Structure 1
Amino acid sequence: MTVVAFERKHDTGEWSERELGTILAALSAATAPGTGREWETGTTEKGDVQFYLLSPLPDQACELCVSRIGGRYILEDGLGRLLFEHRNLDLVALHAKAAVPSTSWLMVRAITLWCAVRSAFHEKAEPWLVEGEELFVQFVPQLAAFA
């Protein structure tokens, strides 16, 4: 693990309204009311500010984190992996927007369920339909003889 020494500036330890506005504007689709996601702010043990994008209840796991350390903005995923860092918050916010999956977990599960049902139908039911059609073709001429 590499340790990077950041230059420290003593600031207020809070996000400015402009900074929060920039982050929230970039993540507006992710924090929309229907998604169930929420956001929260906090600080590190050294007093550096952080912004957290939280997953829906009940887990509320951190999906994305933006930190301001020594005038640099650091973007990390929920596992703490570095995604991007820069002094320009607009660039970091743009990368944050791209890092958030746009498809909800419910939609992903619905698509997966649909594919599983369709696959099961094609594997199990389709051979019965084909065999039934073949039997029908063989017996129709014999049924016509009775008419």
Structure 2
Amino acid sequence: MQKIRLLTSLVLVLTLCPLGKAQYNSVNYDYETARVMGIEYNAAASAEMYYDEQVKDILAKYGIAEVAAAGIYASKHLDRTALTDLGILVDPAENHYYRRIYRIVSVKIIPGIWDLSTLLLKYPHKAIYWGSYLVKVCTEVKSLCQQFESV
């Protein structure tokens, strides 16, 4: 049984080897085409390396941009949180103080500045006479700012 297998294997090898050889000999190998293909392969490989470096550079910059965008987002988020946090305005005493400042500004200082501006536009030659009024308004603003700083 083993002899039959060996004999069959030998016959197959001997019949298939000439086919493989004939097949290999029938390949048309053009040296000029192979040279040009080698040059093109090298050019493509160098271009691929160049573009790979470019992509790596872009990805590195995107990483930096992601960090910067996260920092900007965090900054804006903290700004919004600070503006929407009522903080000391929840305390009735502090809230009363800020309402008092708002009334002083809206009832006394801003209308005074509007009146002074109107008078200065109507009578520019009398601007020197409105100096004391301007000093009074500026003093009130300064006083208000000092009160605000002392809180």
- Same-fold call, TM > 0.5? no
Q: Whose strand fraction is larger, Structure 1's or Structure 2's?
A: 1
Q: Whose helix fraction is larger, Structure 1's or Structure 2's?
A: 2
